[in-house]
């Protein structure tokens, strides 16, 4: 199938999914008990006038039916007005624009760490299978996967922020304002987020490489007398990376959940924190806006992964 | 218009405390002069030095910076750039005129208010009668969406008498007026700024306070810089105040990370989590102060629906709770046993009431008497924060020991609010924070119109007293009304009050100027009149 | 010609064969033993634990390890050692249970998607996309409201959102494998697609799945940690490693073991599962025997 048509179809599907998921979330979230206004008020100063509560509810349109609320929200969203957050009182669009670059930087840094640590670790442990090196590397990557991120975070904060104070313990400074401080502040958060996927990646690379090395054409190449190094670099690595692409894509798609913990511990004002807080407060404008962003992220990444997959291994190009 | 020749400060004096709180009897201030106030003493051993950015950390970002809009999530930072007309004293009584020179009741429905001179807003506009009138009318205007409008309901009109004098007229005898001026509506906002752009005010406030807003980064930090024209510096004869060049408030959600920042020297002061005290108390570079708070922690009964309509069962629950153990276990000893709703150092606290005794045997007896010898099952909810879960588990365990099974659901704030509104509980989270004027909490919790009642409590004697307390202008008489109110609620076991809060604040040793004894004695007034400084002028 | 003979996949002819292959693999054996030990600990908890894990002592909260309490006490004065032992029950049950469910669902759907291709593949993949977009937290909160809070919500949510990973991975593998000559041969020889899928395709795509399963067990236990902390999973006073891990984190300085003990348990279980997984994969995948120089 022509690539252009393929992408077109996928984008159409993406729009449908987006619409469905958005509506579904809106409806399901109604099941969550609670009153957004009462909750937010209860957390600031105590109130003793239900008339004011009613007035604020009206201001946010919470006294209308679900259908009306959704309709209003949708029309406004499509015209660029993403509404006002019930929990913080800021404009959702502004909140989003402030936090998106922060979370993006976090994701990119984490992916970089995971690739830089994970892939070499996986290769080494595959090539030295069952040796002491393999055990050490495997155990190391497994610890990376199983250690809770908030734990790893606080350990690193104490080690590199308090005891040997070379990095800031927490906080975020925009890159434009102070590039050096921004990078220094992001070292630990991206590392913590990245070690998790690094562990996963290493396991998959190891497994995948071992599989490939067991293939017949590898044996043929060996029989022909090619050096081990040539075999690995020329014939084994590329096919071995195929499932790796999937894993990186999946890790990116799921990263927001892990990002939440990292953002909370390191006091980084990102989308993860914003979306979780919003969900608990039933802060619909924020929840919906984040949902759409996350969905677009997931759908685009999955599309890219499928395309790259097809490129890497022509045998799996999607066919009708 | 002729200014009232009677420029004397009106004595809003108060009764000397007779219970063991840290109060000293105070005589009436003889004049409006700041320097005659008992807390207006600045004889420091080491002279204050200018300089440095004071860094602190909070759990949540301030949110909106117009105090009458909502949400506002950080009132301490709010106080750096907005100041109130009136402050409260060591008993939380609104008797310390701050931006005011004084106020006096001409009759129960009329107040004459005199403003202090020489106060300027951050945008240069004058703090005068016209500005105050504009602000109050702005609050009352429904278009302003000020949640504080409810607190100004008795207001009929405000008349400008002269540049610094206002006459307020109410439609009832408004005893809580001074208290309201010491609370959120009393934060002076620049009328000029409000008029120019109300929406912008939420993120660009113009108050009269010692610091101006320099930079605000939502969910990240708040940066404030020194106000060189702070009125109090001149009026008190301390022109170098405030001493810090600015304040940097970082938003750090996790308490362990806040502590790490303190340890790493990245912040200078911090409100501690109580469990952090043990690790920090022997740190030579840090001093920790224990500060009584005006919050009460309690369990609320649904007295109009369900089993707790029977007072014997309410008694059973209350006596089954070992409050001392609860404080030792959940607050690590940092809380004060509560007898009733007003904290022990609040002027409306009834000193004759003693905390409910721990008597599980009595509880079992009462249960049997009420027909539940084989145990009782009650439903309810509690807030699902870490501390909330701990308290709920401890209480559940205690109640189980006398045969009461409290089926408590741990809920986030939104869900808890819903349950409260629906009266869908028998025993749940209770209590109140920021207890200032004595009318707010009782109304909220026990009056039919109360915003947190929704009909779960209907004690007629209490309701009558609440309404009486609203219109009793005389402080002594008003105090007696609230003492009686506490007794009525106490005798009825209307709620199970557990403890009054305490907070722990840690300061690095190079932060100078804190006098704990005088702070406890004069509270708010002392706090805002005594800015701190860095030794040698740097962090 | 030797190729065709060589590529006929060797099906394990019996569980005992697999077991023996696994046991030959040293690390896998260790893994298996550790897992069995933990399971035993969970099962025998009432007899091994020194205290009742629900007994509070408000005057002895957050105390350091002592002769009376080897691991110290938690924020309500309960014995940490006992709670760690009992915690194994919930965590292992949840970790293994929900992983098994997600695997089953994900493998089934991924297999069908990859093998059938066409619109079936497209539909299933779009469904996985949709599930990936949906915020699990909302689902958990909503089910919690509808069905009441508890572990079943977390199991449901984890399964519903965890199967997507398996599906995509297996589908990828299936796309590779189904082009292989012997699958064509099997088709040509008249075997039903059903049988081809289960008997020939599935065993050869299992390798990455096994890796995924072993990692997912650990992820499941950790996911339970995040959720229980919010009051949505395991309800107090039940102990689970995940819950203790998160609650103990607040008191890291006061009583480090509060958080470290369950954390260590989780890590050990994950490592054990991973080694076991390696052994299983080696035992099931004969082609690995030819994977070049094995030892340095």
Closest chain B residue to the Cα of C58, Cα to Cα:
B329
When CB atoms are compared, the residue of C168, C207, C267 closest to A146 is C267
- CB contact (8 A) between residue B329 and residue C77: yes
Identify the pLDDT of residue C292.
34
| Global ipTM | 0.85
Identify the pLDDT of residue C231.
67
For A166, other C-beta atoms within 10 Å of its C-beta total: 10
- The average pLDDT across C122-149 equals 81
Q: How far is A166 from chain C (nearest CA, A)?
A: 22
For A259, phi then psi, to 5°, come to -60, -30
Residue B438, classed as helix, strand or coil, is: coil
- CB contact (8 A) between residue A269 and residue B218: yes
Interface test with C, best of B283, B358, B393, B413 (most C CBs within 10 A): B393
- B283 shares contact with chain C (CB less than 8 Å): no
| Sequence-ordered list of residues with C-beta below 8 angstroms from that of A269, at least 6 positions apart, any chain | A98, A99, A102, A172, A263, B217, B218, B219, B220, B251
Identify the pLDDT of residue A39.
62
Write out the two tokens for A179. 């590039």
DSSP H or E stretch at residue A40: helix A36-42
Identify the pLDDT of residue B214.
95
Identify the pLDDT of residue A319.
45
Q: Helical H runs in C230-289?
A: 241-250, 256-284
Chain A contacts in chain B segment 73-102 (CB below 8 A): 73, 75
- CB contact (8 A) between residue B414 and residue A98: no
- CB contact (8 A) between residue C270 and residue A13: no
When CB atoms are compared, the residue of B69, B251, B449 closest to A267 is B251
Q: Cα(A289)–Cα(C59) distance, rounded to whole angstroms?
A: 48
Q: How far is B53 from chain A (nearest CA, A)?
A: 17
- B283 shares contact with chain A (CB less than 8 Å): no
Q: Which residue has the tokens 């999946």?
A: A250
- C149 shares contact with chain B (CB less than 8 Å): yes
Q: Cα(A59)–Cα(A76) distance, rounded to whole angstroms?
A: 15
Rounded (10°) CA dihedral B159, B162, B167, B168: 60
Q: What are the DSSP calls for B141-173, one per residue?
A: -GGG--GGGGGGTTEEEEEEEETTEEEEEESS-
pLDDT of A35 higher than 50 = yes
- Give C186's strand partners: none
Q: Cα(A299)–Cα(C130) distance, rounded to whole angstroms?
A: 8
When CB atoms are compared, the residue of C130, C138, C291 closest to A20 is C130
Compute and round to an integer the Cα radius of gyration of chain A: 24
Centroid of chain to Cα B189: 20
Buried b (16+ CB within 10 A) or exposed e, A225-244: eeeeeebbeebbbebbbbbb
Over pLDDT 70: what percentage of chain C? 86
Identify the pLDDT of residue A238.
76
- CB contact (8 A) between residue C75 and residue B411: no
Identify the pLDDT of residue A290.
86
Chain B contacts in chain C segment 15-74 (CB below 8 A): 54, 56-59, 61-62
When CB atoms are compared, the residue of B202, B250, B264 closest to A161 is B264
The chains in contact with chain A, meaning 3 or more Cβ pairs closer than 8 Å, are B, C
pLDDT of C22 higher than 70 = no
Q: Cα(B203)–Cα(A27) distance, rounded to whole angstroms?
A: 33
Give B-chain residues touching A151 at CB under 8 angstroms: none
- What predicted TM-score, i.e. pTM, was given to this entire model? 0.86
Residue C255, classed as helix, strand or coil, is: coil
Centroid of chain to Cα B338: 17
Domains of chain C in start order, with CATH, are: 27-50+72-291 (1.10.3720.10)
pLDDT of A46 higher than 50 = no
Give C-chain residues touching A139 at CB under 8 angstroms: 271
For B44, other C-beta atoms within 10 Å of its C-beta total: 12
Closest by Cα among B460, B466, B402 to B439:
B466
Identify the pLDDT of residue A49.
54
Query: In chain B, which residues have pLDDT < 70?
Result: 1-32
Write out the two tokens for C95. 């970790």
Q: Tell me whether residue B449 is exposed, middle or buried, using C-beta atoms within 10 angstroms of its C-beta: 0 to 12, 13 to 18, 19 or more.
A: middle
When CB atoms are compared, the residue of A207, A276, A298 closest to C132 is A298
Interface test with B, best of A47, A51, A148, A260 (most B CBs within 10 A): A47
Identify the pLDDT of residue C41.
94
Over pLDDT 90: what percentage of chain C? 23
Confidence of residue C295 (pLDDT cuts 50, 70, 90): very low
Interface test with C, best of A134, A210, A250 (most C CBs within 10 A): A210
What average pLDDT does chain C have?
Answer: 80
Give C-chain residues touching B332 at CB under 8 angstroms: 61-62
Buried b (16+ CB within 10 A) or exposed e, A267-292: bbbbbbbbbbbbbbbbbbbbbbbbbb
Confidence of residue C60 (pLDDT cuts 50, 70, 90): very high
Q: Cα(C95)–Cα(C242) distance, rounded to whole angstroms?
A: 10
- CB contact (8 A) between residue C76 and residue B390: yes
- C249 shares contact with chain B (CB less than 8 Å): yes
- From residue B283, how far is each of B262, B280, B515 by CA, in Å? 11, 5, 20
Q: How many residue contacts between A and B have a Cβ separation below 8 Å?
A: 164
Q: Cα(C50)–Cα(C45) distance, rounded to whole angstroms?
A: 9
Q: How many residue contacts between B and C have a Cβ separation below 8 Å?
A: 71
- B411 shares contact with chain C (CB less than 8 Å): yes
If one compares B114 and A238, the residue with the highest pLDDT of the two is B114
Is residue A29 a contact partner of residue A291, using CB atoms and an 8 Å limit?
A: no
Centroid of chain to Cα A42: 32
Q: Tell me whether residue A52 is exposed, middle or buried, using C-beta atoms within 10 angstroms of its C-beta: 0 to 12, 13 to 18, 19 or more.
A: buried
- B385 shares contact with chain C (CB less than 8 Å): no
If one compares C219 and C241, the residue with the highest pLDDT of the two is C241
Is residue B391 a contact partner of residue B331, using CB atoms and an 8 Å limit?
A: no
- From residue B372, how far is each of A196, A316, B365, B376 by CA, in Å? 54, 71, 10, 6
Closest by Cα among B269, B326, B157 to B506:
B269
For A179, phi then psi, to 5°, come to -55, -40
- The average pLDDT across A299-308 equals 83
Over pLDDT 90: what percentage of chain A? 19
For A78, other C-beta atoms within 10 Å of its C-beta total: 8
Q: What is the pLDDT of residues B200-214, one digit of tens each?
A: 999 999 999 999 999
Q: How far is B197 from chain A (nearest CA, A)?
A: 16
- The average pLDDT across A124-140 equals 84
Identify the pLDDT of residue B277.
94
Is residue A313 a contact partner of residue A239, using CB atoms and an 8 Å limit?
A: yes
Q: How far is C11 from chain B (nearest CA, A)?
A: 52
For B13, phi then psi, to 5°, come to -60, 175
When CB atoms are compared, the residue of A41, A95, A281 closest to B218 is A95
When CB atoms are compared, the residue of C130, C226, C291 closest to A210 is C291
pLDDT of A40 higher than 70 = no
Q: Taken in order B25, B30, B32, B33, is the CA torsion positive or negative?
A: negative
């Amino acid at each position: 199938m022509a690539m252009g048509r393929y992408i077109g179809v996928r984008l159409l599907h993406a729009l449908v999914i987006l619409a469905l998921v958005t509506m579904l979330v809106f409806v399901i979230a109604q099941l969550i008990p609670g009153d957004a206004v009462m909750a937010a008020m209860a957390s600031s100063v105590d109130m003793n006038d239900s008339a004011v509560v009613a007035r604020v509810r009206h201001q946010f349109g919470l006294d209308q039916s679900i259908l009306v609320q959704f309709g209003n929200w949708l029309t406004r969203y499509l015209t660029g007005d993403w509404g006002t957050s019930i929990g913080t009182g800021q404009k959702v669009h502004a909140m989003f624009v402030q936090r998106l670059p922060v979370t993006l930087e976090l994701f990119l840094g984490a992916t970089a760490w995971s690739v830089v640590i994970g892939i070499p670790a996986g290769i080494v442990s595959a090539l030295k299978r069952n040796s002491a090196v393999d055990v050490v590397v495997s155990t190391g990557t497994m610890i990376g996967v199983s250690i809770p991120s908030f734990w790893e975070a606080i350990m690193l904060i104490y080690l590199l922020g308090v005891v040997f104070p070379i990095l800031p313990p927490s906080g975020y400074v925009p890159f434009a304002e102070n590039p050096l401080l921004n990078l220094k502040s992001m070292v630990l958060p991206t590392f913590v987020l990245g070690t998790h996927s690094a562990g996963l990646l290493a396991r998959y690379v190891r497994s995948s490489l071992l599989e490939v090395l067991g293939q017949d054409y590898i044996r043929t190449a060996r029989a022909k007398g090619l050096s081990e190094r040539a075999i690995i670099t020329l014939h084994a690595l590329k096919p071995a990376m195929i499932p790796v692409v999937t894993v990186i894509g999946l890790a990116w798609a799921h990263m927001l959940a892990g990002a939440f913990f990292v953002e909370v511990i390191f006091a980084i004002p990102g989308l993860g924190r914003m979306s979780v807080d919003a969900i608990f407060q039933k802060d619909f404008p924020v929840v919906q806006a984040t949902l759409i962003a996350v969905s677009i992220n997931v759908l685009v990444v999955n599309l890219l992964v499928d395309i790259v997959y097809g490129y890497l291994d022509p045998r799996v190009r999607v066919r009708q | 218009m002729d200014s009232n020749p009677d420029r004397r400060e009106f004595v809003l004096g108060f009764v000397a405390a007779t219970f063991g709180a840290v109060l000293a009897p105070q005589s009436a201030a003889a004049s409006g002069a700041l320097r005659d106030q008992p807390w207006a003493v600045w004889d420091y051993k080491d002279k204050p030095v200018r300089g440095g950015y004071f860094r602190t950390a909070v759990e949540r970002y301030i949110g909106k910076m117009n105090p009458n809009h909502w949400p506002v999530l950080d009132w301490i930072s709010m106080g750096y750039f907005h100041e109130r007309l009136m402050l409260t004293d060591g008993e939380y009584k609104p008797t310390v005129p701050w931006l005011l020179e004084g106020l006096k009741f001409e009759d129960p429905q009329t107040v004459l208010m005199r403003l202090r001179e020489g106060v300027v807003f951050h945008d240069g506009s004058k703090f005068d009668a016209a500005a105050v009138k504009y602000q109050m009318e702005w609050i009352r205007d429904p278009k302003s969406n000020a949640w504080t409008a409810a607190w100004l309901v008795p207001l009929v009109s405000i008349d400008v008498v002269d540049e610094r004098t206002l006459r307020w007229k109410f439609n009832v005898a408004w005893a809580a007026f001074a208290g309201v001026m010491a609370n959120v509506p009393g934060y002076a906002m620049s009328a000029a700024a409000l008029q120019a752009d109300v929406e912008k005010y939420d993120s660009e406030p113009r108050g009269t306070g010692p610091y101006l807003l320099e930079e605000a980064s939502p969910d990240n930090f708040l940066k404030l810089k020194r106000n060189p024209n702070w009125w109090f510096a001149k009026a008190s004869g301390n022109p170098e105040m405030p001493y810090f060049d600015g304040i940097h408030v970082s938003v750090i959600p996790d308490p362990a990370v806040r502590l790490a920042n303190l340890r790493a020297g990245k912040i200078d002061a911090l409100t501690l989590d109580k469990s952090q005290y043990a690790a920090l108390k022997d740190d030579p570079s840090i001093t920790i102060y224990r500060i009584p708070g005006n919050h009460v922690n309690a369990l609320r009964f649904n007295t109009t629906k369900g089993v707790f309509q029977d007072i014997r069962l309410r008694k059973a629950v209350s006596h089954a709770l070992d409050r001392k153990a609860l404080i030792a276990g959940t607050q690590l000893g940092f809380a004060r046993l509560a007898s009733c709703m007003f904290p022990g150092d609040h002027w409306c606290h009834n000193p004759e009431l003693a905390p409910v005794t721990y008597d599980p045997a009595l509880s079992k007896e009462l249960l049997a008497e009420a027909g539940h010898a084989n145990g009782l099952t009650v439903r309810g909810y509690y807030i699902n924060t870490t501390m909330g879960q701990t308290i709920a588990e401890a209480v559940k365990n205690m109640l189980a020991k006398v045969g009461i099974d409290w089926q408590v659901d741990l809920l986030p704030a939104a869900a808890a609010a819903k349950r409260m509104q629906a009266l869908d509980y028998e025993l749940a989270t209770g209590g109140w924070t920021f207890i200032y004027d004595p009318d707010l909490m009782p109304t909220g919790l026990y009056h039919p119109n109360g915003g947190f009642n929704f009909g779960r409590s209907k004690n007629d004697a209490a309701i009558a007293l609440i309404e009486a307390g609203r219109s009793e202008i005389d402080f002594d008489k008003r105090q007696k009304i609230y003492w009686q109110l506490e007794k009525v609620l106490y005798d009825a076991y209307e709620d199970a009050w557990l403890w009054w809060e305490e907070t722990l604040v840690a300061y690095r040793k190079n932060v100078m100027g804190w006098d704990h004894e005088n702070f406890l004695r004069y509270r708010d007034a002392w706090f805002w009149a005594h800015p701190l400084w860095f030794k040698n002028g740097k962090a | 010609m030797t190729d065709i003979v060589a590529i006929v996949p060797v099906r394990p002819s019996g569980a005992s064969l697999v077991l023996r292959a696994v046991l030959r693999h040293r690390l896998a054996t260790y893994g298996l033993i550790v897992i069995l030990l933990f399971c035993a600990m969970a099962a025998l908890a009432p007899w091994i634990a020194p205290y009742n894990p629900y007994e509070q002592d408000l005057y002895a909260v957050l105390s350091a390890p002592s002769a009376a309490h080897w691991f110290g006490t938690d924020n309500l004065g309960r014995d940490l050692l006992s709670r760690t032992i009992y915690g194994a029950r919930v965590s292992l049950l949840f970790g293994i249970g929900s992983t098994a469910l997600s695997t089953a669902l994900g493998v089934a759907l991924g297999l069908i998607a990859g093998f059938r291709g066409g619109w079936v593949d497209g539909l299933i993949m779009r469904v996985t996309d949709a599930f990936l977009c949906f915020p699990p937290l909302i689902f958990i909160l909503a089910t919690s409201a509808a069905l009441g809070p508890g572990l079943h919500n977390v199991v449901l949510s984890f399964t519903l959102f965890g199967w997507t990973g398996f599906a995509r991975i297996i589908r990828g593998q299936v796309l590779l494998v189904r082009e292989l000559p012997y699958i064509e041969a099997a088709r040509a020889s008249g075997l039903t697609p059903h049988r081809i899928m289960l008997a020939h395709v599935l065993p050869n795509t299992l390798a990455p799945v096994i890796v995924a399963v072993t990692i997912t067990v650990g992820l499941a236990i950790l996911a339970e940690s995040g959720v229980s902390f919010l009051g949505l999973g395991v309800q107090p006073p039940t102990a689970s490693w995940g819950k203790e891990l998160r609650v103990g984190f607040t008191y890291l300085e006061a009583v480090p073991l509060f958080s470290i003990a369950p954390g260590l348990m989780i890590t050990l279980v994950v490592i054990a599962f991973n080694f076991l997984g390696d052994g299983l994969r080696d035992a099931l995948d004969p082609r690995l025997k030819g994977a070049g120089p094995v030892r340095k």
